[in-house]
Amino acid sequence: MPDPLLNWRDQFPILATCNYMISNSLGAMPRKVYDKLHEYADTWATLGVRAWGSRYQDNPTWWELKGAVGDMIAPLMGAPPGSVLVHENASIANSILLSALDFSDSARNKIIVTDQDFPSDVYTLRNMLPHMDIHMIRSRDGMTIDTDELLAAIDERTRLVSTSHILFRSAYIMPAAAIVEKAHRVGAQVLLNGYHSIGVIPVDVTALNVDFYIGGTLKWMCGGPGGVFMYVRPDLLKTLQPRITGWFAHQRPFAFDVENFTLREDAYRLANGTPAMAALYAIQPGVEIIAQVGLAAIREKSIRQTELLVQLADAAGYEVVSPRRVEERGGTITLRPPHAYEISRELLARDQVIDYREGAGIRIAPHFYNSDDEVRQVMTVIRDILEDGSWERHARSRAFVT
């Protein structure tokens, strides 16, 4: 039966040039991004400074675009309008959020993370909050986190649980609902990193009742670099007092009042200065397409194709470093065939676009625009590389992976 999602392929130019299996790292660029960036240039060229104000155009003005794009993303994560703001990257979004929370209660000085979280998240916590006890839960199998151990660690001393919704190495889906439930029961808050979830699995931050959720558009949402979004539960927004801030967060920025700073009460409360405007244009086509394709259809296909990858890996005898139960697995399959690093270099040389992560293996991440034949193809090429020995020519470059 023909796969209707393949009708989207024409919208993604790179698919005609290679086997693009890396949407967990950088989603394919939608063709419409050319038009959107042209629109950005046109707006700047014709309106100039007037692009900031609302009198000259129907679309959201530059001033409001961070929030308007946040509102486009919000339905993809079950968030209400006004609760999501776009930032430049997750590291800065984390820093802004941490600067806005109160960590002064010495009886609550514990923050829980895992050793499978994205390191940048942990760097930010450690550097911004040196007085806090960062409690790290370590993976026992290099793939998952033990749920009982994690939940048991969340206690009355815990101020914040900062972890991933889906782990970036293995695509293990963390038990987000249980984490939020336990954290709230003991008076702690939860920040989830949703870089590997939004755009590939259905997410509902409202139903989850999570406090904070930060994710990126550049992977599964095909929105390109420079687009990260932060959700704050609406009732919490007013409680936040960001110390990393700026005039975009001011209720009356054009009062230029140096004495008084009144923070906005919507998501702009966590804004700072002039945004990188081009990225706010580039993000939009990917977000629109993901919304049109629909997360139920994307997830259904993702399950089918990741399942196919697991079957093919099992048949070939390669170690699978992603969960086998589909309920526990996001959109990526991580494989560890022998000589995984060297194979990954040869795959790239043969236009099979994947990546390799230390401590994990080769990550293969099909998206809704990939065909089952492409999934089979990447596995056939791995077999060919092992059989013809061409992986060996990459052995020396290993020294460059640190």
Size of the site for ligand PLP (CB under 6 A): 12
- Residue 230, interface with ligand PLP (CB under 6 A)? no
- Residue 228, interface with ligand PLP (CB under 6 A)? yes
Candidate residues 11, 57, 91, 109; the one interacting with ligand PLP per rule CB under 6 A: 91
Q: Give whichever of 198 and 298 is closer to ligand PLP, judged by the CB atom.
A: 198
Q: Give whichever of 218 and 379 is closer to ligand PLP, judged by the CB atom.
A: 218
Among the candidate windows 86-94, 135-143, 231-239, 387-395, which touches ligand PLP by CB under 6 A?
86-94
Q: Give whichever of 91 and 109 is closer to ligand PLP, judged by the CB atom.
A: 91
As to burial, measured by CB atoms within 10 angstroms (0-12 exposed, 13-18 middle, 19+ buried), residue 4 is: exposed
User: Is the distance from CB of 323 to CB of 329 less than 8 angstroms?
Assistant: yes
State in angstroms the smallest separation of the CB of 147 from ligand PLP. Answer: 19
State in angstroms the smallest separation of the CB of 303 from ligand PLP. Answer: 21
State in angstroms the smallest separation of the CB of 90 from ligand PLP. Answer: 3
Of 135-174, binders to ligand PLP (CB under 6 A) are: 164, 168
**Phi and psi (nearest 5°) for 87?**
-125, 175
- Residue 363, interface with ligand PLP (CB under 6 A)? no
State in angstroms the smallest separation of the CB of 180 from ligand PLP. Answer: 18
- Residue 366, interface with ligand PLP (CB under 6 A)? no
Place of tokens 């048991």: 152
- Residue 216, interface with ligand PLP (CB under 6 A)? yes
State in angstroms the smallest separation of the CB of 25 from ligand PLP. Answer: 6
Q: Give whichever of 83 and 217 is closer to ligand PLP, judged by the CB atom.
A: 217
State in angstroms the smallest separation of the CB of 351 from ligand PLP. Answer: 22
- Residue 120, interface with ligand PLP (CB under 6 A)? yes
State in angstroms the smallest separation of the CB of 320 from ligand PLP. Answer: 20
Number of Cβ within 10 Å of residue 87's Cβ equals 26
- Residue 127, interface with ligand PLP (CB under 6 A)? no
- Residue 344, interface with ligand PLP (CB under 6 A)? no
Of 175-204, binders to ligand PLP (CB under 6 A) are: 193, 195-196
- Residue 89, interface with ligand PLP (CB under 6 A)? yes
Enumerate binding residues for ligand PLP (CB under 6 A).
89-91, 118, 120, 164, 168, 193, 195-196, 216, 228
